[in-house]
Each structure stands twice: as C-alpha cells, then as structure tokens.
Structure 1
Amino acid sequence: MSDFSSTLALSASGMKAQSERLRHVSENIANADTPGYHRKTTAFEEVVAGGRSTGAVQLGPVELDQTELSRIYDPGNPLADESGYYDGSNVDLVVEIADAREAQRSYEANLRMFDQTRQMSSALLDLLRR
C-alpha cells in the first residue's frame, strides 16, 4: 500500500504545483495592461528529503521577467514623459494563454493518475476482502 500512497502524494504535488503556476499566469493576464508591470515567471523544483529525491515537485521562487517593457505613446496619460511615452507591461497574452493551457493539461494528467491510483487501491482492497 505504500506504493499507492507515494503515487498519490506525487500526483498531489504535481497538481499543487500546476495550480500555483496557473495562479501566477492569471496574475500576469490580469495585469497585462498595468503600466510598469513585469511578468512573473517560475520554475519547478524537485523535492528533496533527507538528501534523497522524493520524485515530488514544487514551484520554485517567483522571479520577475526582466525583458524590456513595452513603450506606449499616449501624451495625455499622466505617466507619460515629455516625449509622450510611458512604460507598459512585458506580458504577452499569447504566451500566457499557452502557459495556462499547458498548466491545465498537466493538472488534468496528474488528476487522472491520482484517480487511477485510487481506483486500483480500492480494487485491491476489494480483492483482499474476499
């Protein structure tokens, strides 16, 4: 049964990491029009316990994308400089939507693995009861 438990834990860690990733993507999309906003990026890290790899994943530290901010011409904007430009954000909605779709599909794959493991352990218990 410990194999089932560890598989469930691995699936759960993947689902948690993907849901946190999706939260950052949502924040990026929500702030796409916020002047001066830098896109948040993150990477997955392997969970290590007692010097050994557990196979689980977690989200690493959040970093700000340092690519150049878009320059927007709007002389009437209070943030505009003397030439009429102000800094927009560096969020690309196409990239964010692709990241959201990838996170969603990865979450669903982990969910299917979790459900399959749960069904297998339940079937095993039914067999052992007979």
Structure 2
Amino acid sequence: MDLKNSVDVSASGLRAQALRMRVIAENLANSDSVARDPGGDPYRRRVATFKSEVDRATGATQVKVQSITPDKSSFSRVYQPGNPAADGQGYVLRPNVNPLIESADMKAAQRSYEANLNAIEAARNLTQRTIDLIK
C-alpha cells in the first residue's frame, strides 16, 4: 500500500469518527428533552454503526457509515404531574440518553480521530523526508 492509500484510509476514519462525534453531541444536547405532547415519546438516543468497505480502485479497506439507528432501550419514567408532557398518571418519559456513556463514547471517538490524524501526519512526514532525500 502506498502512502496515498494510507492517507485515504485514515481520511475515511476521520470522516467516520467526525460523524460519530456529531451523533454523540446530538444525544448529549437532547438528554434533557421531553415529548411535546402529553404521554408522547421523548428524544431517542441514536447510534452510528460502521462497516469496512474495499475501495475497488486501490484495494484499500476503508471505513464507511453503515447506519445511524435509534437505540431500542427503554425510556425512564419520572413522576412530575405538573409537567405539560406528563401522561394521565403524572409520569414523564425521559430520553434513554446516559451522559456518562455518551461522554465515554465521545472520548473513544476523539482518540480514534487523533490516531487517524497521527497516521496522516506520519505519511506526510515520510513523503517530505523522501522529497528531501531526492533533492
């Protein structure tokens, strides 16, 4: 695999992790939102999933977004009879977003993003050193 292919693979990883961080940020931003209608469903956590895909032109395996799917875990219920989103019994459904899990996922996505940046930087440095040797 040449240096251009390694940069392309790392760039696909950067795109994937950037999308993952965006989805996590949306989850965190909506972690306190409730339904608009009484008894309605609140925001449902979303999860980005990835797949590997071979680029036919280069033969390199790259990361692609497979889907962004809703998390099927249940909502928590909180007794708040005065809340406009409360159902007939006075319970409000809360989003299935756990800020601790989202923070851990965000840290993992950041580290993966940084690793891909480091790989691109290493390829750039190798290219520069090769050019310097040719001079």
The two structures have a TM-score, normalised by structure 2, of 0.89
The whole-number CA distance in structure 2 between the counterparts of 1:48 and 1:9 is 12
Q: 2:49, 2:88 → 1: CA distance?
A: 39
> Counterparts of 1:69 and 1:27 in 2: how far apart (Å)?
17
Counterpart secondary structure, 2:11:
helix
CA distance in 2, matches of 1:79, 1:107: 39
Structure-to-structure mapping, 1:60-75, within 5 angstroms: 60-75=66-81
Instruction: Tell me the distance in 2 between the aligned counterparts of 1:127 and 1:40.
Output: 49
* In 1: Cα distance, 2:91 partner to 2:129 partner: 65
Distance 1:19 1:11 in 2: 12
Residues in 2 aligned to 1:128 and 1:6: alpha-carbon distance in whole angstroms: 22
Per the alignment, residue 38 of structure 2 pairs with: none
- Cα distance in 1 for partners of 2:45, 2:18 equals 17
Partner of 1:102: 108
Would you tell me which structure has more helix in proportion to its own residues?
A: 1
Q: Count the aligned residue pairs.
A: 128
User: In structure 2, what residue type is equivalent to 1:65?
Assistant: D
When the two chains are superposed, the root-mean-square deviation of aligned CA atoms in Å is 1.7
**Partner deviation per Cα, 1:70-95 (whole Å, 9 max, x = no partner):** 11110001111121102110000000
Unaligned runs of 5+ in 1: none
Aligned residue number for residue 18 of structure 1: 17
Q: Paired residue for 1:113?
A: 119
Deviations 1:23-45 (A, max 9, x none): 00000000001121110012111
- Residue 3 to residue 39, structure 1, CA distance change in 2 (3 Å): same
Aligned CA distance change for structure 1 residues 12 and 49 (closer, same or farther; 3 Å): closer
Identity of aligned residues (%): 38
Gaps of 5+ in 2: 35-41
Post-superposition shift, 1:53?
5.9
User: Which residue identity does 1:18 align to in structure 2?
Assistant: Q
Cα pair 1:39 1:89 within 8 Å, conserved: yes
Q: Is the 8 A contact 2:55 2:62 kept in 1?
A: no
Instruction: Decide whether the 8 Å contact of 1:46 with 1:53 is kept in 2.
Output: no
In structure 2, the partner of 1:47 is 53
**AA matched with 2:20:** R
